[in-house]
Structure 1
Amino acid sequence: MVPLIHRTMADTDLDFTTGESGASATIPMQCSALRKNGYVVLKGRPCKIVEMSTSKTGKHGHAKVNMVGIDIFTNKKYEDMCPSTHNMDVPHIKRNEFQLLNITDGFMSLMGDNGDVREDLRVPDSDLGKEIEQKFAASEDILVSVLSAMGEECAVAIKQMTGGK
């Protein structure tokens, strides 16, 4: 007789320390419901839709939606075509603002509204990154807008801090 192994929540070899909610990074949405300036996943990348056109229903029955999107992190252009009745993934996009505290070895020290400091975000390799470094060198107080989607994060904009905070 072989004993049955029964697992319970109290088992010590299960690891719940990751804190992952299990929520999906995307939600499905019908192609015909997508709009210009909205977001969609094209070729596995989160993109902002910059062009969209719908072709007429052909003899096989489906209107086609042609989309051009710009990757929100790399600014690379992607194109895709999808029947209007099919679903496409739409990324969950979160935008947070952080106060820039310091820049060390190409990484920014950022403080959130709750006072937590994070130092894991790189200064972008772009004109925005140069502007962030110039304003930091000039001791200006700036807020950095950070976009996060599908497990990636990137600084996308900055603005001058106002005296109300």
Structure 2
Amino acid sequence: MDQETFESADSGASLTFPMQCSALRKNGNVMLKSRPCKIVEMSTSKTGKHGHAKVHLVGIDLFTGKKYEDICPSTHNMEVPNVKRTEYEAVCLTDGFLHLMDDFGEVREDLGLPNNDLGKEIEAKISTGVEFNVTVLKALNEEAIISLKK
């Protein structure tokens, strides 16, 4: 008898979905140069002799803060990342990794402290024992702490 092998699969939910370029809006999300970005600037040119209005997009990477630009015909589709925001209560800090608890009491310890002013602020609040929540942004299997709330 032949040995059967089975491949593992994910939930089937896509990391991105298509959206017509003309339907995108400022402060929305879009994939620019294969990176998830927040649209900060958007302008549409008039229809030219080749028949398509062009949309000029400027976006800031959700995780690195790097600026990306792209031009796309307004009738074409662009990929939009599925972005998920989650609130966690900060519990403690160990070796540069935050211990975060969700609403169900589950604790995760896999998110590192951001290397910016936000990271310094989180470290200071934990050392003084102040209770606070952090917002974690997830897109394309990448996660980062983007803000904190008291």
TM interval, shorter chain, is: over 0.9
Match of 2:6 among 14, 31, 44: 14
Residue 158 of structure 1 aligns with which residue?
A: 148
User: Paired residue for 1:163?
Assistant: none
| More contact order relative to length (CA 8 Å, sep ≥ 6) | 2
Are residues 1:118 and 2:112 paired? no
TM-score, scaled to structure 2: 0.96
Are residue 28 (structure 1) and residue 14 (structure 2) matched? no
Query: CA shift at 1:126, angstroms?
Result: 0.7
> 1:82-135 deviations in whole A, cap 9, x for unaligned?
000000001101000101111111100000111110000000001110110011
Q: Aligned partners of 1:35 and 1:21: how far apart in 2?
A: 29
Shift of 1:14: 1.8
Q: Which has the larger radius of gyration?
A: 1
Pick from 142, 149, 153 the counterpart of residue 139 of structure 2: 149
Offset of residue 15 of structure 1? 4.9
Give the unaligned 5+ runs of structure 1: 161-165
Give the TM-score normalised by structure 1: 0.87
Pairwise CA RMSD of aligned residues?
1.5
Sequence identity percentage: 61
- Find the partner of 1:73 among 29, 46, 63: 63
Report the number of matched residues.
Answer: 150
Residue in structure 1 matched with residue 99 of structure 2 by the alignment: 109
Q: Distance in 2 between matches of 1:92 and 1:154?
A: 15
